[in-house]
Amino acid sequence: MGYASHTPEKHRYNWKRTPPPVEDRLIRAYEACTSRGSPMTMPIHDLLDVRETLSNLETVWARLLETVVGSMMFTQYEMQLRKLEKRRWDGLTEADFAIALTMVSIGLPSVTSFQEDSSFFKPLKDKSGIWWAQKDVCVFVATHLDDQRNFYAAIADVHAAVMKAANAPDVVYGVITSILHLAIIRIDKSVAGGAVRHTAALQFLPSFYATSPSTPGMTALVRLGVSTHAIPRPHFFPPPRPSGSPLLNLPTDILGEIAKHLKDYRDLRKFSVLSDTAFSAAEPFLKYPLLKNLILHSVSDTAVPGSAVIYEMEDDST
């Protein structure tokens, strides 16, 4: 280390390898799918057509992602992460891919599960580097997203893969990650050639010297994950109920108040199958993250900054 431990980060030498060269054909491919007269680069809320400020649900998922990423940064993966900016795509190790996909998966509620003691890292599903996390969301691991030509090349690669996908829906979102940076792209296959819009390449991994765990890349990922998260109707039959049960006739807002007070996830699931209206009322609460027998419901303002309020529930294994 060529500097004292107390040297401010802005004065530390930060070496990284020169970005790899990019073929001109990839730049032309990028220009072909983005030159449609409308802005290509936009904020995540415009790309997803959602409100600018985060909802409570998004905030909870964002704090969870920040916690997991932060814990990985200061464990046995620290040196692996510190070496990332020196590597090119063909030099990435299996561990690099696994770390990248794991971090992205935590920000996608539809594929994240803390209910089972499953393998921590997510394997690649495709030799091209594309992982289809959902039917409408794919993930691509890249490098040097802070270099414009490499960023455009990654977008062109994802666009080509999505356009070749046989069963992909008309609108597909791509998550391009280098772990250090992340971008979200939107591909509209219903437009001839597949029109592309995207965010900028956003910082994803916080600095090891940061005073806040939040980054725009993590926020963008969570906003995509929440906006594409659909809760399937539970696959079990509702309990018998008397004919003409008054519950069936209650308005959605009243049913929502009931659902809000069901802190046991098993009760919430059972409540959601009483009727279509009950499911609509319970669905927003079913989207909050669960940790084993704990549900993360909101971010605390009174505890340690950034911590989460959790409601303990009984073991759901029975």
Q: Is the pLDDT confidence value at 207 over 50?
A: yes
Q: Among 194, 227, 260, which residue terminates a domain? A: 227
Out of 2-11, 18-27, 182-191, 192-201, least confident range = 2-11
Are residue 223 and residue 278 in the same domain, yes or no?
no
Cβ neighbours of residue 5 closer than 8 Å, sequence gap 6 or more:
none
User: What mean pLDDT is predicted for residues 20-36?
Assistant: 89
Q: Distance between CA atoms of 182 and 169, rounded to whole angstroms?
A: 23
- The owner of tokens 């594929």 is 111
In SS3 terms, the chain reads as CCCCCCCCHHHCCCCCCCCCCCCHHHHHHHHHHHCCCCCCECCHHHHHCCCCCCCHHHHHHHHHHHHHHHHHHCCCCHHHHHCHHHCCHHHCCHHHHHHHHHHHHHCCCCCCCECCCCCCCCCCCCCCCEEEEECCEEEEECCCCCCHHHHHHHHHHHHHHHHHCCCCCCEEEEEEECCCEEEEEEEECCCCCCEEEECCCEECCCCCCCCCCCCHHHHHHHHHHHHCCCCCCCCCCCCCCCCCCHHHHCCHHHHHHHHHCCCCHHHHHHHHCCCHHHHHHHHHHHCCCEECCEEEEEECCCCCCCCEEEEECCCCCC
Same domain, 264 and 220: no
Count CB neighbours of 110 within 10 A.
19
216 with 269, same domain: the answer is no
- pLDDT per position as a tens digit, 49-73: 999 999 999 999 999 999 889 888 8
Mean pLDDT of 202-230: 92
Question: Do 177 and 36 fall within a single domain?
Answer: yes
Residue 85 lies in a domain: yes
Q: Which of 102-116, 161-175, 226-240, 301-315 has the lowest mean pLDDT?
A: 301-315
Last residue within a domain, chosen from 227, 258, 281? 227
Residue 136 has pLDDT above 60, yes or no: yes
173 with 282, same domain: the answer is: no
Q: Does 317 have pLDDT greater than 60?
A: no
pLDDT at 53: 96
**Does 5 reside within a domain?**
no
φ, ψ dihedrals at 301, nearest 5°: -100, -10
Give the number of residues written for the chain.
318
Total domains present in the chain: 2
More confident residue, 6 or 147: 147
Q: Which of 197, 227, 257 is the last residue of a domain?
A: 227
Strand arrangement of the beta sheet that strand 294-299 belongs to: 290-291, 294-299, 308-312
Q: Are residues 57 and 177 in the same domain?
A: yes
pLDDT surpassing 80 at residue 146: yes
pLDDT bin (cut points 50, 70, 90) of residue 163 is very high
Q: Average model confidence (pLDDT) for the chain? A: 81
Confidence of residue 148 (pLDDT cuts 50, 70, 90): very high
Whether residue 65 is contained in a domain is answered as yes
CA separation, residue 304 to residues 129, 183, 216, 299, 307 (Å): 39, 30, 22, 10, 6
Same-domain check for residues 57 and 114: yes
Evaluate whether residue 8 is within a structural domain. Answer: no
| Same domain flag for 254 and 193 | no
The verdict on 149 and 281 lying in the same domain is: no
Out of 260-274, 276-290, 300-314, least confident range? 300-314
* CB 237, CB 275: distance < 8 Å: no
Looking at the fold, whether 198 and 85 belong to one and the same domain comes out as yes
189 and 59 inside one domain: yes
Q: Is residue 17 part of a domain?
A: no
138 or 296, greater pLDDT: 138
What's the predicted TM-score (pTM) here? 0.84
* 215 shares its domain with 281: no
Q: Is 10 contained in some domain? A: no
pLDDT tier at 233, thresholds 50, 70, 90: confident
In terms of residue numbers, what domain contains 189? 22-227
185 inside domain: yes
Is 12 contained in some domain? no
